[in-house]
A and B are shown apart, each in its own frame.
Chain A
């Protein structure tokens, strides 16, 4: 199921403003890659180009290539809607649909795909909630509003919603930044389980988190104030945290700035 992501010479623009410049990297299937770096360095922007969500913002466009196995995500024939059905996303703040029940939230993506069969929906809802380690906590109140859950549960609900449509890749944009430590731990455990099935890319501000959950780490930074963000260094998490090649990476990791 999981696919490899190949990013080549990616420049990202918002209108005339160049936000990120010259990103090239590879993300192996069934692995976790963490994006770290100071605020505003473009790591979330890069993440959003992996499922073309940056196009939602007016003026958002890219130069360069993003390949999912042998599919070019930015080929003219590629429909962004189809890309987003293959590459799921979990956001910084848990965002379950407030008017929907827990069950309907998980089923939302399936319904968009035109699946109406009730039995199949129920099965997938259970499977996804189990996959998100949420089933035992909500199985008795599937018809209650999703917004009534705790923050950590809501975030796991959003993960269940994302994996319900069987994506190839799962993108997570600071998924724990609005959560307490216990809920964060639950999500991190979940990421460890999910990586056996999905290619996962996670943006995080928390370097311990990057060290705990990821196999590969990419460090982003601004060239200078007002300049586009760029990828400074990417490598195995162990190497980045113990013996980085760039001085900037070491300074950031050791807490000298950022």
Chain B
């Protein structure tokens, strides 16, 4: 059941009916020409993937390291970004902040909403409505990201200023919600909202799939104890679907962290001399939007290396997110079989 971006699923570890892991090869090879040809081709393809990942990683590290050695600022904590010249100073702190903040806002909105939509489709909606509702949500996934960015900028953005204004007035005393002087549609906050819409379909689709698989016996078990529908969902449906919801959320987070075009169109880049602000109503650049915006200017290995180093951090970040999700899922595994 667990679809996972690490390509590893809970079922991979379960022994088959004969006690073997599903990944153990059998000894069915006959040594005939067909077997050897196909076996060789399959093994070769497997090796190519491994080689490809290793080479890409090596290439990135080799390009990044010389730039990092020339760096005169702390790469992890500095908010400066002057990657070229005789005294390059660059750090990823601002990029990391913008990337994490937009993604966290997207998750905070999209995960509860996606789970709620999935519950509606699988538990509440009458049969004639469930299918069209599911298809509509899936259609959201078919909209290209450039369209989301453009739609956010020209249409949805018109309506966001009152919302941001309200939040700034009522919650402005918290540094996160202070007014940073940007129009509503070019802030991290609004970019996060657009990202939420973009990751909603994947979270909904995967949650819907696991919720639909909850055995009737478990649901009836809860109902027979005198559970209301909502209590039944809490006792039987949500715990059963939890690994799936986490997988869906992580897939969504992966997309939000790496989303480029929509974020690039929306966010106002900051003036290099601007002072640091914690506000979500600030502009900024994420890893992906920064790299995309400057891709035309990679004129020296030093500069290119700096951007590649930033890309590596994004890669590591996504990897860590996946690893944490796997640990969360694995920890409850004994309880989910």
Contacts and interface: CB of A to CB of B under 8 A. Distances in A.
B224 A89 contact: yes
Contact of B222 (A88, A97, A113, A165): A97
B137 to A, nearest CB: 23
Contacts of A64: none
Interface in A79-94: 81-82, 84-85, 88-89, 91, 93
A51 interface: yes
Contact of A109 (B219, B226, B240, B336): B226
Contacts of B336: 98-99
Interface string A27-67: 00000000000000000000000010100100000000000
A53 B221 CA distance: 10
A26 interface: no
Residues of B contacting A: mostly: helix
Contacts of B240: 98-99
Contacts of A91: 217, 220-221, 224
Given A95-B215, A97-B235, A100-B239, A161 B225 contact: yes
B335 interface: yes
Interface in B223-239: 223-228, 231, 235-236, 239
Contacts of A98: 218, 239-240, 335-337
A91 B224 CA distance: 9
B239 A108 contact: no
B90 to A, nearest CB: 47
B223 A53 contact: yes
Contact of B221 (A51, A97, A113, A145): A97
A147 interface: yes
Contacts of A113: 226
A109 B221 CA distance: 10
B174 interface: no
Contacts of B334: 145, 148
A112 interface: yes
A148 B334 CA distance: 8
A15 to B, nearest CB: 13
B239 to A, nearest CB: 4
A187 interface: no
Contacts of A97: 218, 221-222, 235-236, 239
A125 interface: no
A165 B221 CA distance: 14
A158 interface: yes
Contact of B337 (A88, A96, A147): A147
Interface residues of A, number: 29
Interface string A88-129: 110101011111110000001100110000000000000000
A2 interface: no
A189 B335 CA distance: 30
Contacts of B242: 99
B332 interface: yes
B235 A165 contact: no
A162 interface: yes
A154 to B, nearest CB: 11
B224 A88 contact: yes
Nearest to A158: B221
Contacts of B219: 56
Contacts of A100: 239, 335
B226 A99 contact: no
A51 B221 CA distance: 13
Contacts of A84: 223-227
Contacts of B223: 53, 56, 84
B226 A147 contact: no
Contact of B225 (A56, A101, A148, A162): A162
Which of A96, A98, A158 lies at the interface centre, i.e. has the most chain B CB atoms within 10 A of its CB? A98
Given A81-B226, A145-B334, A108 B220 contact: no
Which of A53, A88, A145 lies at the interface centre, i.e. has the most chain B CB atoms within 10 A of its CB? A145
A88 to B, nearest CB: 7
A85 B226 contact: yes
B231 A93 contact: no
A95 B218 contact: yes
A100 B221 CA distance: 13
Contacts of B239: 97-100
A147 B335 contact: yes
Contact of B224 (A51, A99, A148): A51
Contacts of B335: 98-101, 145, 147
A50 B215 CA distance: 23
B217 A93 contact: yes
Given A98-B336, A100-B239, A113-B226, 10 more contacts: A53-B224, A56-B219, A82-B226, A84-B224, A88-B225, A91-B221, A99-B242, A108-B235, A112-B225, A145-B335
6 cross-chain pairs, A with B, having the tightest CB-CB distances, nearest first: A85-B226, A99-B239, A89-B224, A95-B217, A109-B225, A84-B226
7 contacts: A53-B220, A53-B223, A53-B224, A56-B220, A95-B217, A99-B336, A108-B222
